[in-house]
Structure 1
Amino acid sequence: MAGSNFSAYFERLPLRRRRLLQTALAGGAGATLASALAACGGQQSSSSPTGVAGNFPSHPKWNFVFINHVTTNPFFVPTQYGIQDACALVGCTYQWTGSANSLVKEMVDAFNAAIAAKADGIAVSIIDPTAFDEPVNRALDAGIPVVAYNADAPAGSKNRRLAYIGQDLYQSGYRMGQRIVSLVGSGDVVGFIATPGSLNIQPRIDGAKQAILDSKAPINFVEVATGAQVEEELSRIEAYYLGHPNIKGMFAVDAGSTQGVAQVMEKYNLAAKGVHGGGYDLLTKTLQEIQAGNLDFTIDQQPYLQGFYPVIQLFLYLLSGGLMVPSDTDTGLLFVTKENVGPYLRTQTRFEGSSSKEQLVPRS
């Protein structure tokens, strides 16, 4: 929207709506701005061929390629809904590609294909410390903006991605480790991880181990790999428990392994035997077992936002001619326990991946 047109539009708004838009502009958050425009009742520009909601100028129907490490994992269902909703909001399209089994070569091949196809923007889960450095460089040199989502290059990396959108993984793991200490106190504890070394989950288990060490609690914490597929994860978790029946705590740092822990805790009635368990993400079975008292907690990182925000940031970067540079965005950390799990189970939404329905969700 041209400056003079925006000023005239702004002055016509009621005071409450002007304040809402001022807040969005001051905060610099793309998603907030888009929401504010919608809340302000902004009319669609007649010059836009893309059906954009809000007063954006006419622009090409940009295509954003999302490169993922476990493309069929249920954790990323809300992420894909977030991508869809953001693309609908700003009149863009997307492609979801990568690897189903966390194979870095397949992801790099998909990245290279996106460059060759002249993608307008790329979002990638950087699960390897160096493998994506060269593809990111080539994309940026070709004028294609790149952001990381869900997993980021390690601190001090030479990777030039413009921003990271996702949870502070190490800090969330540290917080989980503190929770483990408070729940278990002492004894043998296992931490399950789908793919050791992968940068979307390894920092979590590293943080948990460090928190336990810092506490000086007499806890023997071991790390066990489970695999990238949900069925494989459950099988390995059950086998580990059967071989270690005196375990005091079973925890996990990825969605599939957390669901597996929940299922094993339920099957063998472990909570009643004093075993504690917890993990990450909001798969339905995980939430049900928290409500049933079989699992102590799970940690929400809001995967919907990990799809929504990258689209908005890439869109604004292109729309502004590169002036609106993507910025690091922490999608949060919330412990979901028996005390606050109710709303997650009562309401089926796109935001948690439990429904595909477009709806206004009332606060419960």
Structure 2
Amino acid sequence: MSLKRLRLGCDVSMVVRVFAASSIGAVVLAAGLPAAEAAGKPISVDFVSGPLNDSFFPPLYKGAHDAAHDLGVKLNYIPIDESDIEASSAQTMQAAIAQHPDAIVVGDFIPNVVDPYIKQAVAAGIPVYVDQSGQDQWRADGAFGFVGQQGPQVGSAAAGYLAKDGSKNILCVINVPGNLYLQSICRGLSARATALDLKSEALELPTADSTDQAQVSRDIGAYLQSHRDVNGIFTENAAVGTAAVAALDAAGTGDRVHVGTMEISKIALQEIQNGKLTFLVNEQPYLDGYYAVLFAAQYVKYGLAPVGAVSTGPSIVDKTNIDKILTVFNSEPDIIGSR
């Protein structure tokens, strides 16, 4: 896999630094200045996260890019390959550790693979900040913080929204097999559905199908053919959400099945407007990327970090607030979602 790099650097005023440090909340105090600062070099952060052809990650990358620019950080974004996620998760963390940056930010998508490398980096003196996935393991791994959203809360919010719209049996679709974060979302959905006296089911797409939207639509359509009582669907990727809509259109059942999805894309926003999608769950990935670089830089420079996890979602987008989202989406590319 080709590892993509971005090297950025610029000066930043003390006003920006003080505002950024004070606007998040409680902090803890740790060690002093890093070697890079002492030598007059910019702080270096390696950011291991998802590929930019996945609709979730362009806003996350944009946030990381903007934070690096604002703070004068040298950023190296290293994307994993979702089609070979276990091997790629190991390879990208190995590459990050080998460069010995001042800090590593990582999406802990496959904990049994990534956790040992987080511990290895920490043991080597590289502070690690966990981003977007890994909310259950970051403390035990020795990371100094976490930013993102809690998977079970997402599932619970989705089940509650679909229940409000009349869904009685909800299908939760997992688009990356083996991803514990995505699985935890479906578990949260199931728990809330049970509490509301509803039924829920989960469909984990085959790895070979997960990046082929037409095949995903066929997979969902085939499942619905044999599970005709499903009248609510929640997917964990905007492209999968539109694939679910296509499956319902092909079957002629879109009028009786409500669909919600994680992530925001241009097509997903259009489908909210035309009633094909009921709602979107926005983790606000731009904030995932921006805060992760901000917190990493402040920890390296000052020894400061937020206490505990920082939540960026779930934030619900539906017809009640879509106008504001569309205004930003159309004027600020890749901050709200992928085009």
TM-score (norm 1): 0.75
Distance in 2 between residues matched to 1:264 and 1:129, nearest whole Å: 33
Are 1:244 and 2:224 counterparts?
yes
Once the two structures are superposed, the pairs formed by residues 93-112 of structure 1 within 5 Å of their partners are: 93-101=74-82, 103-112=85-94
| Aligned with 1:161 (options 131, 143, 146) | 143
* Larger RCO (CA under 8 A, 6+ residues apart): 2
Which residue of structure 1 aligns with residue 115 of structure 2?
133
Flag the 1:115–1:266 CA change in 2: closer, same or farther, 3 A. Answer: same
Flag the 1:292–1:154 CA change in 2: closer, same or farther, 3 A. Answer: same
Task: Count how many residue pairs are aligned between Structure 1 and Structure 2.
Answer: 310
Which residue of structure 1 aligns with residue 336 of structure 2?
352
User: 1:238 offset after TM fit, Å?
Assistant: 3.1
Distance in 1 between residues matched to 2:147 and 2:19, nearest whole Å: 24
* CA RMSD in angstroms, aligned pairs only: 3.1
Which residue of structure 2 aligns with residue 183 of structure 1?
165
Distance in 1 between residues matched to 2:158 and 2:297, nearest whole Å: 35
Identity of aligned residues (%): 22
User: 1:229 offset after TM fit, Å?
Assistant: 7.1
- Conserved in 2, the CA contact under 8 Å of 1:190 and 1:224? no
User: 1:269 offset after TM fit, Å?
Assistant: 5.5
- Conserved in 1, the CA contact under 8 Å of 2:221 and 2:248? no
Distance in 1 between residues matched to 2:19 and 2:294, nearest whole Å: 18
Which residue of structure 1 aligns with residue 9 of structure 2?
none
User: 1:106 offset after TM fit, Å?
Assistant: 1.4
| Aligned with 1:224 (options 198, 204, 207) | 204
| Aligned with 1:82 (options 57, 63, 67) | 63
CA shift digits 1:111-170 (9 cap, x unpaired): 112111111211111112332232112211222110111101535973222111101221
Are 1:256 and 2:239 counterparts?
yes
Once the two structures are superposed, the pairs formed by residues 235-314 of structure 1 within 5 Å of their partners are: 235-242=215-222, 244-245=224-225, 246=228, 247-265=230-248, 270-271=253-254, 273-314=255-296
CA shift digits 1:263-301 (9 cap, x unpaired): 434555543x32111111111111110110111111111
Distance in 1 between residues matched to 2:173 and 2:23, nearest whole Å: 42
Are 1:65 and 2:50 counterparts?
no
| Helix, strand or coil at the partner of 2:164 | helix
Flag the 1:282–1:353 CA change in 2: closer, same or farther, 3 A. Answer: closer
Q: Which amino acid aligns with 1:309?
A: Y
User: 1:195 offset after TM fit, Å?
Assistant: 1.7
- Conserved in 2, the CA contact under 8 Å of 1:248 and 1:276? yes
Are 1:147 and 2:129 counterparts?
yes
Which residue of structure 2 aligns with residue 324 of structure 1?
304
| Aligned with 1:25 (options 22, 27, 35) | 22
| Aligned with 2:153 (options 168, 171, 179) | 171
Q: Which amino acid aligns with 1:184?
A: G
Greater gyration radius: 1
Structure 2 stretches lacking a partner, 5+ long: 1-12, 28-36
